[in-house]
Amino acid sequence: MANKAKGKLDLTTFFYGFGAAVVLVGSMFKFVGWDYANELFITGLSIEALVFLVSAFERTTDDKEYQWENVFPQLTSEGSGEGVNLHSYQDAMKQFSGTLLELSEQIKGLNNSLNNVKEEMANNAKASKEMHEKVNGFNQQIGEYNEHMQKINAKYRDFLSGTK
């Protein structure tokens, strides 16, 4: 079992928690209607007020800044640890520029493909319209053929009925 390092008990944090607990118990006493609710409120709020007063004079330590050079090694200069490595930065920018150029070319290709699809759809629409017009002409001719056949049949019936 690994040993865990135990942290120190922070006295200020302890009194914050203790004062808050006394205030909560006092509020519970107040809601239920038990005795000593006011005294618990006064005690808990007094502890809280003292802790706030003491914490106003507490000194803080500066937090350590995040070490960005661990995430972006391009930010460090090789060996010296001071300033930005210009060569690495330029390489990173060239790589970024190349990626952008490649993306731009792919977008152009996609745009060309979409234009080709658009042209094909326009051509298909035009061919469909022409086919529709031809089918309409064919239907009209079939209609005329049907009328002529009816006239021929009528004359043939007249001819047959006159010869009998």
Q: pLDDT digit string (tens) for 102-150?
A: 999 999 999 999 999 999 999 999 999 999 999 999 999 999 999 999 9
From 47, 73, 55, 42, select the one nearest 10 (Cα to Cα).
55
The pLDDT value recorded for residue 131 is 94
* CA–CA separation, 44 and 4 (whole Å): 33
The pLDDT value recorded for residue 1 is 43
* CA–CA separation, 143 and 104 (whole Å): 58
Per residue in 46-94, pLDDT (tens digit) is 988 998 888 888 777 776 777 777 777 766 665 444 555 566 778 888 8
Q: pLDDT band for 12, please (50, 70, 90 cuts).
A: confident
pTM exceeds 0.75 for this model? no
Residue 48 contacts residue 23 (beta carbons within 8 Å)? yes
Provide the H-helix boundaries in the chain. Answer: 11-32, 37-55, 68-71, 86-163
- DSSP 3-state percent helix, strand, coil across the chain (nearest 5): 75, 0, 25
The pLDDT value recorded for residue 55 is 83
